[in-house]
Chains A and B, each alone.
Chain A
Amino acid sequence: MNNILIITQTVWLEMVRRKDIYIILALQAFCTFMLTSISAFGSEAPSSYIMDIGLMLAFLLSIGLAIILGSRQLPAEIRSGTIFSILTKPISRMEFLIGKWLGLWTGMLATNLLFYLIVSGVTLTRNFSFEPTVLIQVFCLHAMLLAIIIAVSLFFTMFFTQGAGGAATAIFVILCYFILPRIPHLLIYEQGWRAGALWGIYHIAPHLELFDMRARVLHNWGALDIGTFLGTMAYGLIITAAFIGFSWALFRRKYFKRGEQL
């Protein structure tokens, strides 16, 4: 456990040292504050649109950041050669992998918390009331989504370079988030083996759209019932664990060569 925390700490330090998070946070804050300047034809409209666009930006930016940071971890260690010194220490490859994932995830949680504070702070100053419990649920499911994405990006960089791993993760996220929920509709127009393949993909691939419940807070639909909420969290945890497991299966047998440019 101590080894995992040491790796986690190094990931945090790297996140703090690099400027990605600050730039993304500044971008989020700038865009959210810019939204307050919109005059909606002179009407005193509630600022649900600020929360809507603000949360959409939080989702987009956090997913982008998770992909960038997640796909950087292992290739950077290999490129700089630090992987050799790490693996000579009494740290198992599983501990290394979990440490990386945990560091990224907790770092992203902190960043996400700031995203949410900016959005809800700006929105509250503009007369939009929402249920804090619902926003907490949105945050938790969003956090679980990021946990999956980080695990997926670590998995892809087990056999791809940083750029290719990042691109593969981005494509995976787009497919599972946007295309997968549309398969039942697309199947109306498909028949034969293609329909069978799409049906199979629909049932096997992770359904990332389940982790986005922004509409509930935006339209005041109330909190998700606890059973569905915990079920969705458990589903996310299982997918995350599965991808960390796949990554470990590849990583434990991975042979590193000096000068390798992964």
Chain B
Amino acid sequence: MKQNGHILPWIGSGGLYLIAVAAGALLVEVPDLKTQLADTGAVYILGPARELLSKGLYERADVYFHKGAEYVKEEAFESIYQKWLHEIHPIKHVHAEGAEIEEIMPWLRLATKSNPHNVEAYLVASYWLNGAAGQPETALQVINEAIEKNPDRYELFQEKGRLLLGLHRDDEAASALESALAFVARPEQDDPEQAALDLSFILTIQSFLYEALGQQEQAIRTTEVFLSIHPDQPVFTKRLEALRYGKMDPEHAKERIEELFVKNHECSREEHDHDNDH
């Protein structure tokens, strides 16, 4: 009996340890397991914490993009302490350039690791990898990973289409944009206004892309869909007529796509005077 008294705490502790390991294993991302456990208590409880952490890490990336400058908030008064603090933390508005941009990548990676549904972090990572870092293939890998974890987000397919067009893989780009179109048309969108704008944009791109690929029927179809949404667009009405008469200009269509897909970074900080500050 005395021996049992020595053993029981060990067995109990060992059991608790095994439960802890099992609980940890449940949180590891195994695709099938994740689907099965999507609505279990652990995921439900940890969800908001992961989202918050991911948001914090994403904001940290923004701080690095602004080379350490924090958000400037409106203040009711100015005292010696604020002036003192600004001596230590100068307020300036600068953006990271060139290789410095890569400093934001670890924060974006941590943001996506802590919450794989942080689509914005994936999109920003892809944008800078494809742009300033000059690594479009890596950007494509990032977007493919994001799609694997968020298979129903049209923004990711739209970005994939953009990357593939840049890599001159036009057929794959068309396929990615078809997926984007399928998901953007769904009624349950986080930002319906943006989704409506993106729907028009995707249709426009597709219309020109199919023209560039010489696929007349597809080009006509997408232009018709566009006009069903925006009937008062004389330019597209003329374009539809031209397409129906078989007037295809693939080179001009490619130029239009390049013009449409030029994307500039927009600084999210409203308090900065972007015309004079930079």
Contact = CB atoms under 8 A, between A and B. Distances in A.
Given A209-B85, A210-B81, A41 B129 contact: yes
B27 to A, nearest CB: 17
Interface of chain A, main secondary structure: helix
Contacts of A225: 87
Interface string B121-155: 00001000100010100100110000000000000
B88 A184 contact: no
A43 B105 contact: yes
A78 interface: no
Interface string A159-203: 000000000000000000000010011011000000100010011
Given A184-B77, A210-B81, A219-B68, A45 B87 contact: no
B67 A184 contact: no
Given A43-B135, A218-B68, A228-B87, A207 B81 contact: yes
A221 B77 contact: no
Interface stretch (B1-9, B106-114, B159-167, B177-185): B106-114
B134 to A, nearest CB: 10
Contact of B81 (A48, A52, A202, A231): A202
A199 B73 contact: no
A232 interface: yes
Interface of chain B, main secondary structure: helix
Most chain B CB within 10 A, of A40, A203, A218, A228, is at A40
Contact of A185 (B60, B75, B99): B75
Interface string A33-69: 0000011111111111100100000000000000000
Contacts of A42: 135, 138, 141
Contact of A216 (B73, B88, B133): B88
B90 interface: yes
B-side interface size class = 35 or more
Given A42-B138, A49-B103, A184-B75, A224 B68 contact: no
Most chain B CB within 10 A, of A48, A195, A202, A231, is at A48
Contact of A49 (B75, B77, B99, B107): B107
Contacts of A181: 81, 85
Contacts of B81: 181, 202-203, 207, 210
A225 B142 CA distance: 43
A68 to B, nearest CB: 25
Contacts of B125: 41
Given A49-B107, A181-B81, 11 more contacts: A43-B102, A43-B135, A46-B103, A47-B106, A48-B64, A184-B77, A184-B82, A210-B84, A213-B88, A213-B89, A231-B84
